[in-house]
Amino acid sequence: MAELRWNDHSLYLGQTLHTDTVMTVLTPDGGACPVPIRRADLGDGAACLEGAAGAFAAVARWAPRAGRHARYYDVALTVTYLGEAPAEAAIQVRYGLAGAGRPTWLIPGAFYKENRLAHCQRIYPRYDYAGGDPGALVSDTWAFRADRAAVPAVFGWTERGCGALATGEMSPLGLTGMGFAGNADGTAIWLNFPYREEPVTFTAPGEAGAPDRPFHRWQPGEQAVLHYRVYVSGGTDFHACDPFVRELYALDQAAHPLNPWMGLAEAAELTAHGLYRWHYKPGDSLLCETAVFDRELAGQQGLGDRPNMHVAWVSGAPYAAALLTYGRSHAQPEYVEAGARVLDKIASGLAPCGTFWGEWRADRGWSQGWTPNRKWLQARTLSEATLFMLRALRAEAELGVEHPTWRDAVLSNLRFAAGAQRDDGSFGAYYHVDTGEVVEWEGAAGILWIAALLEGAATFGEERFRAAALHAGVYYARFVTDGFIYGAPEDVHLTPTSEDGYNATIAYVLLYEADPQAHWLELARLAADWTMTFRWTYNLTFDRHTMLRQFDFRSRGADLASPSNQHLHNYGLICLPEMLRLWRHTGDPYYRDRTRDNLACFLQFIARADGDFNAYRGMVTERYYNTNCFQPKGMLLTLSHAWSAGMILYAAQAAVGFAADLEGIAP
């Protein structure tokens, strides 16, 4: 527990946080009235701070807590309005961070370190110590709504350590918020009641909206109690945040229950039907990437459906393999044929360099995908396709069914990856479609080759595959320990995303299982902990008129896609078996519980019948809107995505082998 000290009219928490105010009152005219600490009583680790300024008085009562995972302070801030007439005002609780130089940040799910590399082509909020152009989404200070965050908290680091403030999504003054600033004038973190979004509002990539600064209308004599938590760690590395994230999750578990709509068998049956009925195109052997909910609109105007197929990621091998597996186990030959035909198509369409292509498009056949250059193929898409085709190949072989074309394609990809590897272990991020030359090395897009190569080594007995995977494990460890893993999705160039965390978790769990060394298990644990910063610990509050409120959607267990794509998605189900094996390897129930949350969350909003939430039976959306980004909070995207249905189908089947770990989820 960080020691509380009172000195020179300021409160100090260890060597990291400090404040000389109980709070600050913000007014619509742009005014900021600090409420200084006039009285401070400290004793037995607790504190009571009092102050008054203008028409407001405040009392903050601090209580030390020794939680299961972290020590922190619980603060109850009682604010009293003493004015004689109603007035609009907001409350800010602000703490400085001691230390010099450039700080670093975390708002779980929404902001990671500087958040966007200066040369990243995807434009979303970026921190720059020197300032910048807010219109270009660059600033040395940011404030956001709490519902952008998987955990409503803000963390800041200096060379002195890590400090954090956390609150709930809602307070008596409405939706809360958090912010930070770091420049030559100082470094600070704060909470806003109600929220503020400034210097601009991020509404979509490349779009900077007007600042959003709501106020509460105070009535004479009104009193409000605002609750928040304060955490300090002497750790200066990113993972100093992990104990407090775990503690906040533990506190939210009881207050935010899960609500799966169905069990695993029903989810698998529905999503297999959905993939086959709405996404499979037998003429071209495709799993089409999207199918619009409104089939009349799609039929009459051709809107919404996307008759293209990536080889993995947003369509392709993972989901074809899941459909094939389901068809085999449930004696549904049409599903077997569909899954096998899609995998046949992918395997028979190798690019000149020897890898899979990125995508098949209706207007031009095989092509590169959504990469920055039409001659580039992306490592993550290729490695994921290789991994899941290999798994399908093994499953079929166990049933006595051979697929020589799949085998040849998988081997071609694995040999390519091993041959492309740099001396330091990197696989690179993008490859030239003709020559196979690595055309971009930056980022961790290639990390999933580790999993494919390890499983390939076990299947084909090629030792160099294993050696390449072990070498890569050493190289990619820097992204995990640094807490900034980026490069996985094709469409968010060099952006940290939840998908990067899934891939890292899969890779290091498999490395530990192939080479049971403690450092691999530690990296698997750190990768999973980083991934959990994207995962919702609480259930969002939606407006009563929205779709998500009407269907009582529980967000606990959902993941934010990325700081750039701020919506909830179910892609985390891809590492469900690895997460549950990690729980068994470590005996740490945190991984079991958070994986169970993830599965339970996405046993919601699978269309149970035609017309269910305006979709057709078996459809699954890609996006659930958690904040004011892309669409209003509480909406969902009215498109079924092949990967969204396919990921549930994959996870529902994989989860059967972990029934004892999935208490509360029906088989």
Give residue 131's pLDDT: 96
Same domain, 277 and 245: no
Q: When comparing pLDDT for 303 and 433, which is higher? A: 433
| Mean per-residue pLDDT, 466-491 | 97
Query: At 100, is the pLDDT very low, low, confident or very high (cuts 50, 70, 90)?
Result: confident
CATH of the domain at 100: 2.70.98
Of the residues 221, 255, 289, the one at which a domain ends: 255
Same domain, 314 and 352: yes
Query: At 8, is the pLDDT very low, low, confident or very high (cuts 50, 70, 90)?
Result: confident
Query: At 382, is the pLDDT very low, low, confident or very high (cuts 50, 70, 90)?
Result: very high
For every residue of 65-122, DSSP letters joined together read: EE-SS-EEEEEEEEEEE--SS-EEEEEEEEEEE---S--EEEETTTEETTSS-TT-SS
Give residue 302's pLDDT: 67
Report the alpha-carbon angle 570-575-576, nearest 5. 80
| Mean per-residue pLDDT, 384-409 | 98
Q: How far apart are CA 583 and CA 221, in angstroms?
A: 52
| Mean per-residue pLDDT, 410-419 | 98
Same domain, 191 and 330: no
Number of domains forming the structure of the chain = 2
For residues 471 and 426, the answer to whether their CB atoms sit within 8 Å is: no
Kindly state whether residue 43 falls inside one of the protein's structural domains: yes
Q: How far apart are CA 9 and CA 424, in angstroms?
A: 53
List, for residues 276-312, the tens digit of each pLDDT value.
999 999 999 999 999 999 998 877 666 789 999 999 9
Query: At 349, is the pLDDT very low, low, confident or very high (cuts 50, 70, 90)?
Result: confident
Of the residues 255, 286, 316, the one at which a domain ends: 255
Same domain, 551 and 428: yes
Give residue 304's pLDDT: 83
Same domain, 156 and 13: yes
Same domain, 224 and 283: no
Same domain, 92 and 232: yes
Of the residues 225, 255, 285, the one at which a domain ends: 255
Kindly state whether residue 667 falls inside one of the protein's structural domains: no
Q: How far apart are CA 570 and CA 644, in angstroms?
A: 7
Task: Report whether pLDDT(115) > 80.
Answer: yes
Q: Which helix (H) or strand (E) holds 608?
A: none
Q: How far apart are CA 479 and CA 460, in angstroms?
A: 29
Kindly state whether residue 472 falls inside one of the protein's structural domains: yes
Q: What are the structure tokens assigned to 405, written together?
A: 């074309």
| Mean per-residue pLDDT, 19-35 | 97
Q: How far apart are CA 454 and CA 260, in angstroms?
A: 35
Q: How far apart are CA 297 and CA 478, in angstroms?
A: 48
Q: What single letter denotes the amino acid at residue 429? A: A
Token look-up 């995505």 returns: 641
Q: How far apart are CA 493 and CA 134, in angstroms?
A: 21
Task: Report whether pLDDT(490) > 70.
Answer: yes
Ranges 359-363, 392-396, 434-438: which has the least confidence: 359-363
Q: How far apart are CA 597 and CA 651, in angstroms?
A: 13
Same domain, 294 and 248: no
The SS3 call for residue 433 is: coil
Kindly state whether residue 282 falls inside one of the protein's structural domains: yes
CATH of the domain at 336: 1.50.10.10
Q: How far apart are CA 200 and CA 185, in angstroms?
A: 21
Instruction: Give the torsion through C-alpha atoms of 381, 630, 537, 450, to 10 deg.
Output: 10
Give the rounded distance of the alpha carbon of 131 from its chain centre. 27
Query: At 126, is the pLDDT very low, low, confident or very high (cuts 50, 70, 90)?
Result: very high
Indicate yes or no: pTM above 0.85: yes
Same domain, 537 and 590: yes
Give residue 303's pLDDT: 78
Kindly state whether residue 666 falls inside one of the protein's structural domains: no
Same domain, 247 and 277: no
State the angle between helix axes of 317-329 and 264-274 in degrees (0 to 180), rounded to the nearest 10. 120
Same domain, 501 and 466: yes
Token look-up 């896609």 returns: 561
Same domain, 211 and 336: no
Kindly state whether residue 14 falls inside one of the protein's structural domains: yes
Q: Which domain holds residue 655?
A: 264-661
Kindly state whether residue 189 falls inside one of the protein's structural domains: yes
Q: How far apart are CA 18 and CA 280, in angstroms?
A: 59
3-class secondary structure for 432-456? ECCCCCEEECCCCHHHHHHHHHHHH
Kindly state whether residue 501 falls inside one of the protein's structural domains: yes
